[in-house]
Amino acid sequence: MSTVIRARGLGKKYRQRWALQDCELELPAGRVIGLVGPNGAGKSTLLNLAAGLLAPSSGSIEVCGGPPAADVAQLARVGFVAQDTPTYGRLSVADHLTLGRRLNPGWDDAVARERIDRLGLDPKQRAGTLSGGQRAQLALTMALAKRPELLILDEPVASLDPLARREFMQLLMEAVAEQELSVVLSSHLVSDVERACDYLVVLVDSRVQVAGDLDELIATHHRLVGARRDPATLPGSQQVISASHTDRQTTLLVRTQEPILDPSWSVDGINLEDLVLAYMDKSAPVVRRPRLEVQR
Amino acid sequence: MIEFHLNGRSGLSPYQQLVQQVRHALRLGLLKEGDRLPTVKDVASQLAINPNTVLKAYRELEHKGLVAARPGVGTFVTRTLADKSLSAHGPLRKELERWLTKARLAGLDEESIEALFLSTFRGAGEEVA
Amino acid sequence: MIWLTWRQFRGPALMMAGVLTVFAAALAFTGPGLADDYAQGIAACTGQEGGCTRFLDRFLDSHQSAFLGVSGLLLLLPGLIGLFWGAPLVAREMETGTLRMALTQSVRRTRWFAVKIALVGLATMVAAGIGTLAVTWWASPLDKSAVSSYPRLEAIVFATRGIVPVGYAAFAFALGVTVGMLVRRALPAMAITLAAFALVQIAMPMFVRPNLAEPVKATATFSTANIDGVGEGGLLHVQAGVADAGAWILSSRTVDKDGRTVAVIDLPDADMAKCDAPRQPAKAMQCVADTANRLGYRQEATYHPSSRYWRFQWTETGIYLALALGLTGFSFWWTKRRL
């Protein structure tokens, strides 16, 4: 399987602070990849680096086989929908399409017009007076009409209401069905990722905690509940992601390719949200609470 | 033509839900041999789900011999699940009703009945497997 | 890309075109009248006793507010263009996020920036050029009559005539673009641009323009022409004066026979008594001047002759264009590396 984004020791520093550091990443082509992680994990920085909007401070990133935004051909390969889906407020919808047509050699004007028509957008309306949902649709239409190999979406639906969010995702999924397209989409809404994506990357503190086919990840993670015991006694094939104990009971989240045969466990599947949360928790730094001590 | 829907609380993954819904429709006679399933693009767009998920569901149905994909035309139902089992529904239902009456007489409430049924159902399933 | 830049810039450009048209029309309407008045006045006074000094003073007096107003407008124009066209050019796109849309189209960012800065920068210079052309034409009779009160090389007249306004506008625009790029917010960028531009505009005539060429040193003796009057006890009131009427006088001082600067010329009472001739003030004045000369007092002045006007115009325009080019080069680099 070919790779659409490859990062090696990638880092981006703003003044004194690293927004992304030592990021290693390899994303397969032809998938809809969900990038999830807590705020400040570096998702947005990573996507901006991939779109060529930022230059790396260290390491390297390759997109569709070359450095991002290196030349016109590279720029044409990548579509980008930025956070909050900015558009030119004073330009009309039709102006935006003209802009896209004039600035992109591979622009598909017929598709763009058809989509705008179907979305019910008035071509004469100024983008500044569109609703958030319509603006997002316009930005997505523009990114798609460019006919990119890779479409990058940075939290595109974060600020939209549920209906607009659904409509946006419908347009996106329809395009994925129609066009040969790799998609990387960052979101903190697990429900969107669950429906739209077939590949998951959990990014915490610049590090990829887990990456893989979504169904496979769900199928290989299990919740085990049983009498209290030490997780170290599990077979080597079972990787413990998270563990919690009461004085009697132990609850584990394990990843394994093999069936769990130990009858002392009650085994349960997990949903995507649990999986994501477990990986986010796992890497969270341990906060030591100061203990109150009796002064003598 | 049928319309799919997704239930976020079902505990099943989207692709399993699609498979289940086709099987259900076949069993209830909503889909008959020769019927066309909605296109991958239509399902993906309507449900806002990944087209690969739809493809995967259709492939599984194809693998089970329930549908066949004709390239460029669509995916068509090749077999129905209704005919054999429908005739058996009546007698089975009668037996189940008798069992339910017995259970109520024994003092089981709705919840206990359901729990008993499910645990027996699962246990039996494992034995068969 | 040119289409997009024009589409974005259309509004401000049309507005500026409107303002300039009104301004130029007003000047075109009043200009010929002004020139006629001047020509008639000059014709009337030429050859008359006392020359044209009185007419020129009157002519300037009666049009002084228009003269200063028009010059003031043109003094503001370059700064305003830098403010309203330069500062938001990139900063506004950063603010609204459209920069990310623009830079992810299939256009290199350097080309995107080059077209933007070239098109709007050119418009800036054209606007300033039209402004200065109109004002230079309109004010030429006034400038001739204002030679002694407002020498052509001095602040307000120099900065609002000829070609320097074009240089100022180019610089203000490039400054605005660069500041906007660094500050990333349009409004603060506009404020900083204005402050920085004003600072440069004040520093230029104070510290740089006087040194654009070696000033001419002139030593003059006293005559009735440069002595204003005689005070009690023989104190002379001396007026700085060089032969060149439109010269830009940088310094003027009185020195004694040993070359020391003196604040006042204090003539001995005995000499003053000799010169006392109440009936003939002109003769008395001549006597006082002769006495001062005999005692070794001299008037020293440094100045730039009015003939240097165009040389200064070109040099200063060149300096501003070089600054503008430097800023543009920097912003290009920034666009490539840091934007």
The answer to whether A273 contacts chain B (CB < 8 Å) is no
- Provide the token pair at A146: 């460019």
Residues 111-140 of A with CB under 8 A from C: 139
* CB-nearest partner of B48 from A169, A215, A269: A169
In a mutagenesis test of the A interface, which of C101, C103, C184 is the best target, namely the one with the most A β-carbons within 10 Å? C101
Q: How far is CA A271 from CA A6, A278, C192, C301, in A?
A: 28, 11, 54, 92
At C308, which helix (H) or strand (E)? Answer: none
Q: What's the pLDDT at A287?
A: 42
Instruction: Flag if A174 and B50 touch (Cβ within 8 Å).
Output: no
Q: What's the pLDDT at A36?
A: 93
* Beta carbons within 10 angstroms of residue A155's beta carbon: 20
Q: What's the pLDDT at C231?
A: 63
DSSP H helices in chain A: 43-50, 72-77, 93-103, 109-118, 132-145, 162-178, 190-196, 214-220, 272-283
Instruction: Flag if A178 and B41 touch (Cβ within 8 Å).
Output: yes
Chain C residues contacting A via beta carbons under 8 Å: 1, 3-4, 7-8, 11, 96-98, 100-101, 103-109, 337-338
Residue-averaged pLDDT of chain B: 85
Cα–Cα distance between C141 and C52 in angstroms, integer? 14
Residues 4-23 of B with CB under 8 A from A: 6, 8, 11, 13-15
Q: Mean pLDDT across the stretch A123-135?
A: 92
- What pLDDT band is residue A291 in, cutting at 50, 70 and 90? very low
In a mutagenesis test of the C interface, which of A48, A49, A75, A108 is the best target, namely the one with the most C β-carbons within 10 Å? A75
- Provide the token pair at B96: 């189940």
- Provide the token pair at C202: 């004040």
**Which chain A residues are closer than 8 Å to B18 by Cβ?**
none
- What pLDDT band is residue A295 in, cutting at 50, 70 and 90? very low
A98 pLDDT higher than 60: yes
Q: How many CA atoms lie within 13 A of C115 on its CB side?
A: 16
- Give the distance, in angstroms, between the CA of residue C336 and the centroid of all CA atoms in the same chain: 37
A290 pLDDT higher than 50: no
DSSP classification of residue A40? T
The answer to whether B119 contacts chain A (CB < 8 Å) is no
At B70, which helix (H) or strand (E)? Answer: strand B67-70
With CA atoms as reference, report the closest residue to C77 among C132, C114, C35: C132
Cα–Cα distance between C29 and C23 in angstroms, integer? 10
What's the CATH architecture for A3-205? 3-Layer(aba) Sandwich (3.40)
- ipTM for the assembly: 0.83
Chain A, chain B: beta-carbon pairs less than 8 Å apart: 51
The neighbours of chain C, by the rule of 3 or more Cβ pairs under 8 Å, are A
Q: How many CA atoms lie within 13 A of C290 on its CB side?
A: 10
User: Tokens 């079972």 identify what position?
Assistant: A238
Phi-psi region of B107 (alpha: psi -120 to 50; beta: other; left: phi over 0): left
Q: pLDDT tens across A13-52, in order?
A: 888 888 888 889 999 999 999 999 888 888 999 999 999 9
* CB-nearest partner of A86 from C1, C7, C98: C98
Q: What's the pLDDT at A296?
A: 44
In a mutagenesis test of the A interface, which of B10, B15, B43, B50 is the best target, namely the one with the most A β-carbons within 10 Å? B50
* CB-nearest partner of B50 from A171, A173, A178: A173
**Which chain A residues are closer than 8 Å to B11 by Cβ?**
269, 271
**What are the sequence ranges of the domains in chain A?**
3-205, 220-283
The neighbours of chain A, by the rule of 3 or more Cβ pairs under 8 Å, are B, C
Q: What's the pLDDT at C106?
A: 92
Q: What's the pLDDT at B82?
A: 66
* CB-nearest partner of A87 from C8, C101, C106: C101
b/e map of A231-250 (b: 16 or more CB within 10 Å)? eeebeeebeebbbeeeeeeb
Phi-psi region of C184 (alpha: psi -120 to 50; beta: other; left: phi over 0): left
In a mutagenesis test of the A interface, which of B40, B42, B52, B59 is the best target, namely the one with the most A β-carbons within 10 Å? B52
Q: Which amino acid is at A236?
A: G
User: Tokens 């990944």 identify what position?
Assistant: B50
Cα–Cα distance between A252 and A223 in angstroms, integer? 6
Contacts of B101 (CB under 8 A, 6+ apart): none
* CB-nearest partner of A82 from C3, C101, C105: C101
Q: Are C98 and C143 in contact (CB under 8 A)?
A: no
Closest CA–CA distance from residue A168 to any residue of chain B (Å): 8
pLDDT mean by block of 10 residues, chain C; 339 residues: 87 90 90 85 75 77 83 88 91 92 91 93 92 88 74 80 92 95 93 94 88 84 68 61 73 79 73 70 75 80 86 93 95 84
Q: What's the pLDDT at C235?
A: 63
Q: What's the pLDDT at A283?
A: 58
**Which chain C residues are closer than 8 Å to A51 by Cβ?**
100, 104
Assign 3-class secondary structure to A65-122.
CECCCCCHHHHHHEEEECCCCCCCCCCEHHHHHHHHHHHCCCCCHHHHHHHHHHCCCC
**Which chain A residues are closer than 8 Å to C108 by Cβ?**
71-72, 75
**Which chain A residues are closer than 8 Å to C100 by Cβ?**
48, 51, 53, 80, 82, 86
- Using DSSP bridges, classify how beta strands C248-255 and C298-304 pair: parallel, antiparallel or unpaired: antiparallel
The answer to whether A204 contacts chain B (CB < 8 Å) is no
* Beta carbons within 10 angstroms of residue A143's beta carbon: 26
A148 pLDDT higher than 90: yes
Phi then psi dihedrals of residue C223, to 5 deg = -150, 175
Closest CA–CA distance from residue A192 to any residue of chain C (Å): 24
Q: Are B73 and B39 in contact (CB under 8 A)?
A: no
Instruction: Flag if A84 and C96 touch (Cβ within 8 Å).
Output: no
With CA atoms as reference, report the closest residue to B37 among B7, B69, B14: B69
Of chain A, the percentage scoring pLDDT greater than 70 comes to: 95
DSSP states of C193-255: HHHHHHHHHHHIIIIIGGGSSPPEEEEE---TTTEEEE-TTSBEEE----S-TT-EEEEEEEE
* Beta carbons within 10 angstroms of residue C291's beta carbon: 21
The answer to whether B49 contacts chain A (CB < 8 Å) is yes
Contacts of B80 (CB under 8 A, 6+ apart): B26, B29, B31, B32, B33
Angle between helix axes B82-105 and B110-128 (nearest 10 degrees) is: 130
Cα–Cα distance between C296 and B43 in angstroms, integer? 108
Cα–Cα distance between A224 and C296 in angstroms, integer? 113
* CB-nearest partner of C108 from A72, A95, A142: A72
Q: What's the pLDDT at A288?
A: 39
Q: pLDDT tens across A188-231, in order?
A: 888 888 889 999 999 988 888 899 998 899 889 999 888 888 88
Domains of chain B, each with CATH number or no CATH: 14-77 (1.10.10.10), 86-128 (no CATH)
- Using DSSP bridges, classify how beta strands A32-36 and A221-227 pair: parallel, antiparallel or unpaired: unpaired
Closest CA–CA distance from residue A8 to any residue of chain C (Å): 20
Q: What's the pLDDT at C50?
A: 66
- Provide the token pair at A225: 């509940």
The answer to whether A71 contacts chain C (CB < 8 Å) is yes
- Provide the token pair at C336: 């490539």
DSSP H helices in chain B: 14-27, 40-47, 51-63, 82-105, 110-128
Instruction: Flag if B44 and A32 touch (Cβ within 8 Å).
Output: no
Q: How far is CA B43 from CA A176, A259, C42, in A?
A: 12, 33, 91
With CA atoms as reference, report the closest residue to A50 among A27, A84, A16, A17: A27
Instruction: Flag if A195 and B49 touch (Cβ within 8 Å).
Output: yes
Q: Which residues pair with C139 in a beta bridge?
A: none
Contacts of C236 (CB under 8 A, 6+ apart): C222, C227, C229, C230, C264, C265, C267, C288, C292
Q: What's the pLDDT at C332?
A: 92
